[in-house]
């Protein structure tokens, strides 16, 4: 099997002009991934800039209420409020070692753009982020955040003016400027070697959990639950446990609005659950598409889970039965958002609320076992406006 493939998924479906850039990136990664100087610098940024390691927090109140031991991996405490910085630090450092002067990225909700802007400012790159015009309007605070850190934000006017158009523009930029530019992809998606590189940088999450849970419980958990958009926090926490087959792994996708009628609509951000084979962002994976192969726009209450595809390795792990894809809808996620805030004094991101919701839903079934670790991928401060406006809608009994 080719190294760029995960079962039948993955690969490099990009214009020929980009192949040298992908090869250069892969070679650089192979060279530096075990280089002591690179690893020392990576460890420095992870500790001093990102604030690692993050606690594995025993959620005492939630555990009592739901009758199973629940630990939260506190990625919400990483600088910037989510796990995304783990990856942008790693890739920016790699770009520096490769002698690149410029970072580009695309962003949907603006979270990955913001994490890229942070490392861009800190490590001294010229940083430019592509964002659909619609998203620029919807996420103006993140646009301002990026600008504050010196990043140029391009508002993309083509197509549906959302994430997939921003992806196209970023790829176009990369083709033109590949000599001095690193394209910083934000999840375990895109052409090889990105899914591997992002997984490895995010595996710091699972590696810490492995150490911490042995310290606290003397054994591995029965199950690990993580929300999945592209799948980087899920792959990051799952990967170190893949060989430990007694540990069940649950990626939770966004089921969107549970009240809509057709299956596809009801599972509107759930590429693992409802997607079909297709090509997205240069990789073969499971993609939400219509019967003509046109990419469907995803929709979820949580902007960060709004991606029409999912990482190829996750698609493969689902195929071979090593992970068990599941989903919860907007309403259930919102309920979990309130529940964790009230019981533990921790306001979770709406993305992470999907993982919490699944635990709340399944705790009593026995499916998760007695010891559960949940990836709390981000904090909820960014979502307060969304939740606040949903609360008003709720009173009018419309679909969330």
For 273-345, list the strands marked E by DSSP: 276-280, 283-287, 326-328
Applying CB under 6 A, the span of 159-167, 215-223, 291-299, 346-354 interacting with ligand PLP comes to 346-354
- Of 106, 128, 253, 339, the active-site residue reads 106
Applying CB under 6 A, the span of 42-50, 231-239, 256-264, 338-346 interacting with ligand PLP comes to 231-239
Annotated catalytic residue 331? no
Evaluate whether 120 touches 151 at the Cβ level (below 8 Å): yes
If one asks whether residue 285 binds ligand PLP (CB under 6 A), the answer comes out as no
Show the CA angle centred on residue 280, arms to residues 274 and 284, nearest 5°: 80
Q: How many residues bind ligand PLP (CB under 6 A)?
A: 19
DSSP 169-213: HHHHHHHHHTTTEEE---SS-SSTTHHHHHHHHHTHHHHHHHHHH
User: Which residues in 375-394 contact ligand PLP (CB under 6 A)?
Assistant: 377-378
Among 11, 90, 110, 229, which residue sits at the site for ligand PLP (rule: CB under 6 A)?
229
If one asks whether residue 143 binds ligand PLP (CB under 6 A), the answer comes out as no
Hunting for tokens 């969304």 — which residue is that? 386
Minimal CB distance to ligand PLP: which residue?
378
Closest to ligand PLP by CB, 62 vs 355, is: 355
User: Which residues in 148-187 contact ligand PLP (CB under 6 A)?
Assistant: 187
Q: What is the DSSP letter of 46?
A: I
Closest to ligand PLP by CB, 68 vs 352, is: 352
CA distances (Å), origin 246, targets 94, 209, 219, 221, 242: 35, 16, 11, 9, 9
Among 50, 72, 82, 133, which residue sits at the site for ligand PLP (rule: CB under 6 A)?
82
If one asks whether residue 267 binds ligand PLP (CB under 6 A), the answer comes out as no
Among 63, 91, 111, 271, which residue sits at the site for ligand PLP (rule: CB under 6 A)?
111
CA distances (Å), origin 183, targets 179, 180, 285: 11, 10, 20
Q: In what order do the strands lie in the sheet with 276-280?
A: 5-6, 9-10, 283-287, 276-280
3-state secondary structure (DSSP) of residue 73: strand
Alpha carbons within 13 angstroms on the beta-carbon side of residue 144 total: 5
User: Which residues in 287-316 contact ligand PLP (CB under 6 A)?
Assistant: 304-305
If one asks whether residue 340 binds ligand PLP (CB under 6 A), the answer comes out as no
Annotated catalytic residue 377? yes
If one asks whether residue 325 binds ligand PLP (CB under 6 A), the answer comes out as no
3-state secondary structure (DSSP) of residue 353: helix
If one asks whether residue 352 binds ligand PLP (CB under 6 A), the answer comes out as yes
Report the nearest approach of ligand PLP to the CB of residue 292 (Å): 27
Report which of 206, 207, 205, 171 is spatially closest to residue 190, judged by C-alpha positions. 171
Closest to ligand PLP by CB, 88 vs 181, is: 88
Strand partners, 278: 285
Give me 32's structure tokens: 């530096």
If one asks whether residue 221 binds ligand PLP (CB under 6 A), the answer comes out as no
Applying CB under 6 A, the span of 6-14, 47-55, 204-212, 227-235 interacting with ligand PLP comes to 227-235
- Of 69, 73, 84, 248, the active-site residue reads 84
Among 146, 166, 167, 228, which residue sits at the site for ligand PLP (rule: CB under 6 A)?
228
Q: Is the dihedral of CA 74, 79, 84, 85 positive or negative?
A: negative
Annotated catalytic residue 394? no
- What are the residue numbers of the active site? 84, 106, 377
Q: List residues binding ligand PLP (CB under 6 A).
A: 82, 84, 111, 187, 227-234, 304-305, 349, 351-352, 377-378
């Amino acid at each position: 099997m080719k190294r760029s493939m995960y079962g039948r998924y993955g690969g490099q479906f990009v214009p020929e002009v980009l192949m040298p850039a992908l090869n250069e990136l892969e070679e650089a990664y192979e060279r530096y991934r075990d280089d002591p100087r690179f690893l020392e610098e990576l460890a420095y940024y992870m500790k001093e800039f990102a604030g690692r390691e993050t606690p594995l927090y025993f959620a005492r109140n939630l555990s009592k209420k739901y009758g199973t031991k629940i630990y939260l991996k506190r990625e919400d405490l990483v600088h910037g409020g989510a796990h995304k910085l783990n990856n942008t630090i790693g890739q920016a450092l790699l770009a520096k070692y490769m002698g690149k002067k410029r970072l580009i990225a695309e962003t949907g909700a603006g979270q990955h753009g913001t994490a890229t802007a942070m490392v861009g400012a800190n490590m001294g790159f010229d940083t430019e982020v592509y964002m659909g015009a619609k998203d620029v309007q919807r996420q103006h605070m993140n646009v301002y955040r990026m600008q504050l850190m010196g990043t140029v934000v391009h508002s993309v006017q083509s197509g549906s003016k959302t994430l997939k158009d921003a992806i196209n523009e970023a790829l176009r930029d990369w083709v033109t400027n590949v000599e001095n530019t690193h394209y910083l992809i934000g999840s375990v998606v895109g052409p090889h070697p990105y899914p591997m590189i992002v997984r490895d940088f995010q595996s710091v999450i699972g590696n810490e959990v492995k150490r911490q849970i042995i310290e606290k419980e003397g054994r591995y958990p029965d199950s690990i639950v993580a929300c999945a958009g592209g799948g980087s926090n899920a792959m990051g926490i799952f990967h170190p446990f893949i060989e430990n087959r007694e540990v069940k792994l649950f990626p939770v996708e966004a089921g969107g609005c549970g009240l809509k009628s057709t299956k596809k609509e009801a599972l509107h951000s759930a590429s693992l659950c409802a997607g079909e084979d297709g090509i997205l962002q240069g990789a073969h994976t499971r993609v939400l598409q219509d019967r003509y192969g046109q990419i469907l726009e995803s929709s979820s209450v949580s902007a960060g889970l709004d991606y029409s595809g999912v990482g190829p390795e996750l698609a493969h792990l689902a195929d071979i039965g090593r992970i068990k894809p599941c989903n919860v809808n907007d309403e259930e996620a919102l309920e979990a958002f309130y529940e964790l805030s009230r019981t533990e004094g921790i306001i979770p991101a709406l993305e992470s609320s999907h993982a919490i919701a699944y635990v709340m839903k399944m705790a009593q079934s026995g499916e998760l076992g007695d010891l559960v670790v949940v990836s709390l991928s981000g904090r909820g401060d960014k979502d307060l406006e969304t939740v606040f406006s949903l609360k008003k809608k709720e009173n009018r009994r419309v679909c969330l």
